[in-house]
Amino acid sequence: MDLAALADHRSAAWHLVESFAADWSPRPLGPGDGYDDASLDEVEQRLGMKLPAALREGYGLFGRRDDLARNHDTLLRPDALFTYEGALVYHVENQGAANWGIMLSDLGYDDPPTVCRPDLADKVSESWDPWTDRLSTALVELVMTETVKHEDDGLSDACEPPDGALDAFQALPSVLPERFGSRWYLGDQVILHCLEDWWLTVRARTPEPLESVREAVHGDWING
């Protein structure tokens, strides 16, 4: 899994999504997993604006796959896209605590930068803050984080990790900027995501390696 390739053209992002789905989701990507051009054209007509090429390509590749995009936070379906405070919102936190979007002024770029806005009680304090330099990078992180949270098949679990819990696993390159504290690790038949050192999510290919991680990491596992 070549996360470093994200620095290349966005086609590398879609190749990574395909590889990640094949390795870690219930099934590989296939026909019918994305939205066709006609559906996305209708969305553009409704919004009165063109969608960036990267957003259309992402929706066309995996937009209908809930197991890749809607386990915890939600990649909005194309017909649910909306504008808010100068941005096109494409991704929402599961309890409405934050939105991710693209500034309307950047929609002309094929692979525009993305922004994030927390939902605060003091609306005056809210602002769109930089998230990723490219939308394709944000969508890769979205697919990865949502996939490891897929629980319907019993191959994912999560806990608060104790200190040193991840020392035995291979650290992977970061997808998001390091300041966001999103770190990825690889083990024997398992992939792990640690958010800001306080929440660990693991996904395995089969039940046995998942149980091995539970035994090695002495945390209060949600499903263990």
pLDDT in tens, 129-145: 999 999 999 999 999 99
In a shared domain, residues 169 and 114: no
Domain coverage including residue 175 = 151-216
pLDDT in tens, 61-100: 999 999 999 999 999 999 999 999 999 999 999 888 899 9
Residue 55: CATH number of its domain? 3.40.1580.10
- Residue 10 domain-assigned (yes or no): yes
Q: Which of 89, 119, 144 is the last residue of a domain?
A: 144
What is the DSSP-derived secondary structure letter of residue 50?
Answer: P
Q: Measure Cα distances from 34 to 64, 65, 184, 212 in Å.
A: 5, 7, 26, 35
In a shared domain, residues 105 and 191: no
In a shared domain, residues 101 and 191: no
What local confidence, expressed as pLDDT, does residue 7 receive?
A: 62
- Residue 89 domain-assigned (yes or no): yes
Domain count, the chain: 2
Contact 219, 159 (CB under 8 A): yes
Alpha-carbon distance of 148 to 13, in angstroms, equals 18
In a shared domain, residues 124 and 155: no
In a shared domain, residues 123 and 205: no
